[in-house]
Amino acid sequence: MESIAAVSQPQAQDIILDVRHPDEAEQRPLIWPANQIICLPFFQINKQLDKLDREQSYLLYCEKGIMSRLHADAMQKNGFEKVAVFVL
């Protein structure tokens, strides 16, 4: 697994991908007003990769950081260069 950066202060252009299960995201919504947040559950990411802009900067978020790190790695292997894990 390549090195995946951890980011706690997103840049304005970063899009945050909330990869938690929809139930978890609904119970504890991620609110970060300065950035666009897209709820994209971990079990749908692989199906949605072709719809995401490979030039865009993405930060993946999950509660413990495990799923976000795994999927950030998968995104890197699929040609996404600007991928990191968002940590609170």
Q: Minimal CA–CA distance to 19: which of 59, 79, 52?
A: 59
What the block records as the tokens of 47 is 């199906």
The answer to whether residues 37 and 16 touch, using CB atoms and an 8 Å cutoff, is yes
Question: Catalytic annotation on 39?
Answer: no
**What DSSP character marks residue 44?**
T
Catalytic residue, candidates 16, 19, 40, 62:
62
| Residues labelled catalytic | 62
